[in-house]
Amino acid sequence: MSKGLKALERIKATLIVCKKLYLNESAVAEIEKELKALEIIKNKLIDVGRLYGCMVAYPNEKTPIHYNEKIDKRYKTYMLTQEEYDLLKEVLLCH
C-alpha cells in the first residue's frame, strides 16, 4: 500500500474516532480511487500514453485486451486485470 493510501486510511480512522465528519465521504472515496490508480500505474509500470490511446481508439472495448497484447509475454505480471483496467479507465477518462 502506498504512503498516500496509508495516510488516507489514518485520516478516515481519525474522522471516525473523533466523529467529526466534516470531510465529504465521496471526496474521500474519490481520493482513494485515484491513489489506487496511481499505485497500479507505479507497480505495473503502466505506459499511460499507450493505455490512454487504447482506451480512446477502442472506446467500446470493455477489456484490457488491446493494451495487454502489446506487452511482451515474458512480463505477464505487468498485464492489467479487468478490475485494474476498469479503475484506470474510470480515472483516466473521468467517467
Convert 21-77 into a string of H (helix), E (strand) and C (coil): CCCCHHHHHHHHHHHHHHHHHHHCCCCHHHHHHHHHHCCCCCCCHHHHCCCCHHHHH
Question: Domain map of the chain by residue range?
Answer: 1-43, 46-95
pTM for this entry: 0.77
Q: For the residues 24-35, what does the mean pLDDT come to?
A: 81
What was the pLDDT predicted at 28?
A: 76
Count of beta carbons in the 10 Å neighbourhood of residue 69: 10
The mean-pLDDT minimum among 16-20, 29-33, 71-75 falls in 16-20
**pLDDT surpassing 70 at residue 46:** yes
